[in-house]
A and B are shown apart, each in its own frame.
Chain A
Amino acid sequence: MLKTSSLKLLSKRIFYVQPLSTQVQPQERLQTFRTTEDNPLNHTSEHIGQFYKLSPDAKKQLFLHGGLPKSFEVQIKTFTESCLMIRQPSIDIINCMKVINYTNPVVRFVLYSKKGNGKTLSMAHVIHYAFEAGFLVVHVPWVGNWMRRCKEKSNSEFKPGNIDLNVDAAAWLMHFKHQNSHLINNSDFKTSQDYVWSKRETTLKDTPLVELIEHGINRIKFASQCIVALAEEIKKLSQEGKCKTLVAIDGFNGFFYPNTRILTEKKEVVHPGNVTLTEAFLNLSKCDWSNAVVVVTVDELAIAEKDQICCLPRYLLGKKGFEHMDPFVPVPVLAYSDKEFKSCMDYFRERRWVLPVSGQDEELQFLSGGNPYRLMQLCNSL
């Protein structure tokens, strides 16, 4: 009996080795794990599990100031190309975005999953789609950067008791301007009201939106308040039908987690509700406007380690946040299915990142449990 089982193993192994040799028929292999359809407008559920190439230009415009995880950036450099896997959650959201009636109030999607399942990259795919489809992209790369490791803070002049994050806010304005550089010079984009910053500085009605942003970048002191104004303007512009908007916020639950690392001068913890930036982005994620889509992720990594108990939206958003987002469409990002896992390993092998060894797939699938980040880490040292 032992002998037959070992024979079985052997025969299995021989069959297994053959499809692994990537050099024999590269053309045929390409079909299965890579798609030549690089435009996210044409991605359908048939492409699920396949990799598509994010062109360097699009990557530069969309993710120059963050938005892709650091470890993924390292991989991009090693692989000399940036490829994203087309996965179920992003395809679901894109399909919805294609058929939504944009006159109705905004639909809000909440991506959630365990750590390392690919929320951020699914969102990157959605952002790329929105970019190609001509949406105005309002993208926050990582709320944790503001609530957990902010660069500088000061008291707000406009609302006593509020805290401004000047440098971070200005950096975000740069990011926004860079991401939408092809749309923002549109002559329709004008302010709808006067903004008085100080005695000498005002932004008048009907000045181009670019000038408002420029003002925030140049006068760092007003950057936070500028974002609040910008959010209001974007809402109005979309409602008037001048642009379609995608609001994408990574680590959205950071806006509701009371235990931030921002401290006042008296070393008191600042509640995120007292941060000016929160006001702007909570305003954008309300459902009182139309002609837009909101995609947010809730992530355990955006909160303190001791509270990382559960990855579900109700826990992470808390009561207040859940009520704020209600009603929303929850989109779970699951671990790799067998097909996705196979395709990912084939991609690694094609990039020469992992060398083919018989039996490696079963072992790695078992060790990683299908978790993409864990798989990447395991493959690093092979």
Chain B
Amino acid sequence: MYNSVPLQQHALMSQYPSYYVKPVFKKDVQEEMIKSGEAQKLAHVPTRAALNDQTSSVYHDDIINVLINYVMKDGRKVLARELVEKTLEKIKRLQLERYHKATNIEDKNKIELNPRVIVHKAILNGKPLLQLSPIKRGGVKYQVPVPITDKRSQFLSMKWIIEAGNEKDRNTRFYDQLAVELIDAFNNTGRVVKRKQELHKQCEANRAYAHYRWS
């Protein structure tokens, strides 16, 4: 069964004692806190240093940072970040090409040019609502549909997108394929959305086992 027990908050080898608070690094949040007076409370509380992907850049994006971490292998973050940045670039080039091809203004305005919006929507479109979990009853394993947390669902969506990006012939680059998949998922078509729908269909087919979740 899917485990919803909260994970341990801090790693055992944490550099910081537990009373250190996490930093507020986003500019708009900071400004809000200053306005509401909350910032004063934090003034003398020991604070952790910001992580290296936590910046106050106007282009800081939590979801894309998570995607970078999922793309990363063997801790090669620079490479992973480069790949995702190239993906964003490719998305922009593909969409701009479509934009310049469109003849009338209405069609042009319909085309989304912001790669970040495309990535967010694509991940949203790939999120499943249920998943199957093997449960043993009477010596037989049943694939039982169970509800899914938001975080897990986001993880699955990103994982599928990355897997779809990896499924390509040798001559295409990962970031090119990933860009194509993301645009497809943004338009609610393509392999990732199909995979989600197939999972939903399976869940629907196995609805008779649903009661095994609690009995």
Contacts and interface: CB of A to CB of B under 8 A. Distances in A.
Contacts of B97: 78
Interface stretch (A104-112, A133-141, A354-362): A354-362
Contacts of A359: 58
Interface residues of A, number: 17
Interface stretch (B85-93, B147-155, B199-207): B85-93
Contacts of B89: 380-381
B92 A360 contact: no
Contact of B92 (A6, A353, A357, A363): A353
Given A352-B96, A352-B113, A381-B89, A6 B58 contact: no
Contacts of B57: 363
Contacts of A382: 59, 88, 115
Interface residues of B, number: 21
A371 to B, nearest CB: 17
A2 interface: yes
B31 interface: yes
A80 B57 CA distance: 30
Contact of A6 (B31, B59, B86): B31
A13 to B, nearest CB: 10
Interface string B89-109: 100110011011000000000
B113 A78 contact: no
A3 interface: yes
A161 B115 CA distance: 57
Interface string B56-86: 0111000000000000000000000000111
Contacts of A357: 58-59
A380 B96 contact: no
B34 A78 contact: no
A360 B99 contact: no
A312 B203 CA distance: 68
Contact of B58 (A363, A380, A381): A363
B114 interface: yes
Contacts of B114: 355
Nearest to B82: A381
A359 B92 CA distance: 21
A114 B58 CA distance: 28
Nearest to A357: B58
Contacts of B113: 352, 355
Contact of B85 (A2, A9, A80, A381): A381
A380 B85 contact: yes
Nearest to A75: B93
A2 B96 contact: no
Contacts of B88: 380-382
Given A2-B34, A381-B86, A358 B58 contact: yes
Nearest to B85: A381
A108 to B, nearest CB: 39
Contacts of A381: 84-86, 88-89, 115
A80 B100 contact: yes
A358 B34 CA distance: 20
Nearest to B31: A6
A357 B114 CA distance: 11
A78 B96 contact: yes
Contacts of B31: 6, 9
Interface string A185-202: 000000000000000000
B58 A352 contact: no
Contacts of A363: 57-59
Interface in A344-382: 352-353, 355, 357-360, 363, 380-382
Contacts of A2: 34, 39
Nearest to B100: A80
A353 B96 contact: yes
Nearest to A381: B85
A381 B85 CA distance: 5
Nearest to A355: B114
A24 B114 CA distance: 20
Contact of B35 (A6, A355, A358, A380): A6
Contacts of A358: 58
Nearest to A359: B58
B33 to A, nearest CB: 10
Interface in B38-58: 39, 57-58
A3 B36 CA distance: 10
Contacts of B92: 78, 353, 380
Given A353-B96, A381-B84, 19 more contacts: A2-B34, A2-B39, A3-B34, A3-B35, A6-B34, A78-B93, A78-B96, A80-B100, A352-B99, A355-B114, A357-B58, A357-B59, A359-B58, A363-B58, A380-B85, A380-B88, A381-B85, A381-B88, A381-B115
Interface of B: 31, 34-35, 39, 57-59, 84-86, 88-89, 92-93, 96-97, 99-100, 113-115
Question: Closest 6 interchain pairs by CB?
Answer: A381-B85, A380-B89, A381-B88, A359-B58, A80-B100, A78-B93
17 contacts: A3-B34, A6-B34, A6-B35, A78-B93, A78-B96, A352-B96, A357-B58, A360-B58, A363-B58, A363-B59, A380-B85, A380-B86, A380-B89, A381-B86, A381-B89, A382-B59, A382-B88
